Amino acid sequence: VKFSTCKIENRKQSKRIDIQQLFDHIAECLANFLEKLGMKNQKLPLGFTFSFHCQQTKLDESILVSWTKGFNSHGVEGRDVVSLLRKAIIKRGDFDIDIVSVINDNVGTMMTCGYDDHHCEIGLIVGTGTNACYMEEMRHLELVEGDEGRMCVNMEWGAFGDDGALDDLRTDFDQEIDAGSLNPGKQLFEKMISGMYMGELVRLILVKMAKEDLVFQGHTTPDLVTNGQLQTSFVSAIENDKLVGLVSAEKMLRGLGLDPSVDDCVATQRVCQVVSTRAAHLCAAALAAVLRQIRDNKAAERFARRLHKMVRRLVPDCDVRFLRSEDSSGKGAAMVTAVAFRLAIQHAGRQRILDALRLSQEQLLDVKRRMGEEMNRGLAKESHDQATVKMLPTFVRSMPDGTESGDFLALDLGGTNFRVLLVRVRRWKRRSVEMHNKIYAIPQEAMQGTGEELFDHIVHCIADFLEYMGMKGASLPLGFTFSFPCHQSKLDQGILLKWTKGFKATGCEGEDVVTLLKDAIYRKEEFDLDVVALVNDTVGTMMTCGYEDPLCEVGLIVGTGTNVCYMEEMQNMELVDGGEGKMCVNMEWGAFGDHGELDDFSTDFDKAVDEHSANPGKQTYEKMISGMYLGEIVRNVLLEFTTKGLLFRGKLSERLKTRGIFETKFLSQIESDRLALRQVRSILQHLGLTSSTCDDSILVKEVCSVVACRAAQLCGAGLAAVVDKIRQNRNLPELKITVGVDGTLYKLHPHFSNFMHETVRDLAPQCKVTFIQSEDGSGKGAALITAVACRIRDQMGHISTE
């Protein structure tokens, strides 16, 4: 039985059926087939082609690793599909089958062709998906026992490139297809080759060309910009001979609502040819690698008897002698001992250096205690000015309760790109927030000109967005995510303390940025907006996650920088009036340690990073944790190792001496469990270390692991202080709380989140902490804060009216 041949009436629905329905359906298809053949009373051997990613331990057992091709049947992953099918057949009881083998479709392809041609040793599938299998020598298969004979290997090559190996070949179109797929970041090779994605790739290229006025007179249509409107079958038809292909191109383009010229049809045909040619070439390159592996395997079998003869033929002018070892058990043992002794000394030297970056449980508890002390100092009016953790009031007093409703605008200004968003919130409909957004660039002249020029540009972008959304002249509540240091005295006011991130617009520092925005809106005279809230991206993260989970009262950012906010009891906040309820506090915890609180944990590597930073002596905690600095810490450790002859044979490359060359993204790539040492070496070669060895790669991986682990543990220690303070505030023996998290380091590093979670569990055992990732906290979060503020304002207005 072939799984993909089972007739499924409602394909979209059945891909999400539960485990019982799925295998009952397969058993029913099998019963109907046997009934039709009049063979229901016979017990026949059955081969099961199951074309999904599986781990096999024997021929009739196959554990599903992960669904692909849009299937998502609950409860199947991690289970033996043969057992599940057997149970469904037994449950019916009207026929009996002996399931002898379960195979992948490409294995079936190889076996079918091998029946006709005994030289067939490779199976290749290139259709909706793509995969290959081949006969490998048993001695090369470390995952199974035995070293004699051969075994068919299911390559699952669709995932080639998931570790970044194809990043230099992938285009913006490939990345867009991947981002919009059901499994982003996975099956990247398949997405460049297979039929499921080829039509979409052509569509994206045509959209890009239209927007650049290269085809269709610069026009697009709703169908052309809609996902899935261009099938791969159209690509095949268009690639027919020139005349038929052009007719097919015209027919397809008119079906998309376009009025193409002959040149448009020719260009479309050429795009199809380029896309399919690239797919064929990539497939051929991978197949060539398989063929080379088989060739090398067979050559190795004859190696021993041909070695001398071939060497002499290749270098006839060299006098080559082959010596047999004498007394290998004695002298050889001594030589091995000498090498081992040298390696042991080097290992001890490396560990002494790395031990400075390893933190004990007692040290982490000390960090937690010191963070708690600084939090209290920041909350108290008397000690606030001297505190490194400023604990700034945000005037966000309440979390979403599900009754919020309406349309809200959000602005997100935190760098050289600026976003305008329309967020539609509907009462009681959790997880159904609708968002539309558009990204605008902030030109250099606006960043470094006058404040009026900067805010006039922002308002111009808002006007463009409102017109784009068909809402020109609309008056809506607005939330402003402004990710620069501000002092707030109320929710809709923020005094800019200083510009960062390259901004230098004059007339802004010391001024209320909300007033600057309102003045620019007034000058525009096209629309009016009610600026309800000015927020930090950390607070936005907490609110976004709080909309999904009512227990979320902490927001954490761990990306280029790091920060935390949480809901503090008003009675503890001496900087604002009022003693009842709660208010969100923006901790600005990156400055923790600026007064020496972390000096006994700081290493020479941390001091070197700080000394050469843009702000020496400031943001100490952030420089030990965040993505902006971890790569530089690793680079300094590698320099120390190499200088002492413990790495790279003591030879430094000029590139490794360059500050900032070791990007933090390299840590995530090197620590990926899927990345082979060969690919780690390719990263080192990028750094000019062309003669690095596998041993060097292992050591670099260890350094990256130690640095990332320390960062995650320090972050976890600080977070443990936060959740424990919330528990103590409420006099609870146990606290259940959720932390909303955003940031590339947390999301993309393969082990950072696990290290941090484990540290929080160890240091705050009376707190049961759940972590959820934020989706667009800086945009949606600002709108949700505005929605909550509007709800509270409306409630207060209603009370006043009564």
Q: Kindly report, residue by residue over 358-393, the tens digit of the pLDDT.
A: 999 999 999 999 999 999 999 999 999 999 999 999
Decide: helix, strand or coil at residue 420.
strand
pLDDT reported for residue 304: 43
Mean pLDDT of 615-632: 91
Mean pLDDT confidence for 724-732: 96
Give the Cα separation of 231 and 322 in Å (integer).
62
Does 423 lie in the same domain as 382? Answer: no
User: Are 376 and 410 within one domain?
Assistant: no
Q: Is residue 690 part of a domain?
A: yes
Residue 210 located in a structural domain: no
With respect to residue 126, please indicate whether it lies within any of the assigned structural domains. no
Question: Which backbone phi and psi does 416 adopt, to 5 degrees?
Answer: -75, -15
Residue 742 near residue 773, CB atoms below 8 Å: yes
pLDDT band at 565 (very low <50, low <70, confident <90, very high): very high
745 shares a domain with 628: yes
Q: Are residues 637 and 747 in the same domain?
A: yes
Catalytic residue annotation: 419, 483, 537
Residue 695 lies in a domain: yes
Residues whose CB is less than 8 angstroms from the CB of residue 449 and which lie 6 or more positions away in sequence, other chains included: 505, 506
Residue 560 in any domain: the answer is: no
Could you tell me the CA-to-CA distances from 123 to 285, 287, 630, 639 in Å, in that order? 15, 10, 45, 48
Percent of the chain residues topping a pLDDT of 70: 88
pLDDT of residue 788: 83
Decide if 669 contacts 164 (C-beta within 8 A). Answer: yes
The label of the residue with tokens 């667009």 reads: 776
Domain boundary among 308, 340, 372: 340
The verdict on 367 and 476 lying in the same domain is no
**In a shared domain, residues 529 and 621:** no
DSSP summary character for residue 181:
S
Q: Based on the domain organization, do 614 and 749 belong to the same domain? A: yes
Judge whether 406 lies within some domain.
yes
Residue 56 confidence class, pLDDT cut points 50, 70, 90: confident
Percent of the chain with pLDDT over 90: 35
572 is a domain residue:
no
Q: Fill in the DSSP letter of residue 4.
A: G
- In the numeric block, which tokens belong to residue 463? 């006007």
Q: Are residues 410 and 533 part of one domain?
A: yes
Tell me the backbone φ, ψ of residue 720, rounded to 5 degrees: -60, -40
pLDDT surpassing 50 at residue 641 = yes
CB of 74 within 8 A of CB of 85?
no
- Looking at the fold, whether 647 and 695 belong to one and the same domain comes out as yes
> 296 pLDDT exceeds 60?
yes
Please tell me whether residues 754 and 790 are part of one structural domain: no
- Which is more confidently placed, 301 or 207? 207
Q: What is the pLDDT of residues 154-213, one digit of tens each?
A: 888 989 999 999 999 999 999 998 988 888 899 999 999 888 888 889 999 999 999 999
- pLDDT bin (cut points 50, 70, 90) of residue 6 is very low
- The CATH number covering residue 502 comes to 3.30.420.40
Beta strands 486-490; 552-558: pairing state: unpaired
* Whether the predicted pLDDT of 15 surpasses 90: no
CA dist 465 and 482 (Å) reads: 19
Q: What is the pLDDT of residue 300?
A: 53
Q: What is the structure's pLDDT at 17?
A: 57
pTM of the model: 0.58
Q: What is the pLDDT averaged over residues 647-674?
A: 83
For residue 511, what are the domain limits? 398-545+781-796
Alpha-carbon distance values, 614 to 273, 501, 593 (Å): 50, 11, 17
* Chain segment 414-462, per-residue pLDDT in tens: 777 888 999 888 776 555 778 898 999 988 899 889 999 999 999 999 9
Look at residue 219 and tell me if it is in a domain. no
Tokens representing 752 are 């950072």
User: Number of structural domains, the chain?
Assistant: 3
CATH number of the domain bearing residue 751:
3.40.367.20
Residue range 719-741: mean pLDDT, rounded: 96
pLDDT tens profile 33-48: 888 888 888 887 777 7
Q: What per-residue confidence (pLDDT) applies to 341?
A: 65
* Statement to judge: residues 530 and 612 lie in one domain: no
Q: Give me the mean pLDDT over the 703-712 stretch.
A: 94
Same domain, 653 and 527: no
